[in-house]
Amino acid sequence: MADVEIWLGEVAGALDVTLEDVLPSATQDELLTLTGDIAHNVVRLAVPLSSYLIGVAVGRGASAEEAIRLVGGLLPAADA
C-alpha cells in the first residue's frame, strides 16, 4: 500500500490538489470497492472509464459519495 500512497501523493502534487481533501481514505475505499465490482460484474475496461466519469461528475459539483452510489446502483444484480 505504501507504493500506492506515494504514487497518489505524486499524482496529487502534479495536479495541484491536496490528496486528503479530494480523495480521503474513506472515499478511496468506496471507490476501490466499486471499481472491483465493476471489473467483476461488468467488464474490466469499464473501470477506468467509469472512474473518469465519476471524477467529471465530482468536478461539476456532485459529492463523491453520491456519484459512487449512483454508479453502484447501475451494477447488474448479483446472481443468487
**What is the DSSP secondary-structure string of 4-33?**
HHHHHHHHHHHTT--HHHHS-HHHHHHHHH
Site of grid cell 495541484: 16
**pTM of the entire structure?**
0.88
Q: How far apart are CA 26 and CA 12, in angstroms?
A: 17
pLDDT at 54 over 70: yes
Which of 42, 4, 44, 49 minimizes the C-alpha distance to 23?
A: 4
Average pLDDT, the chain: 94
pLDDT at 80: 47
What is the percent of the chain where pLDDT is above 90?
92
Average pLDDT score over residue span 39-44: 97
Q: How far apart are CA 17 and CA 3, in angstroms?
A: 19
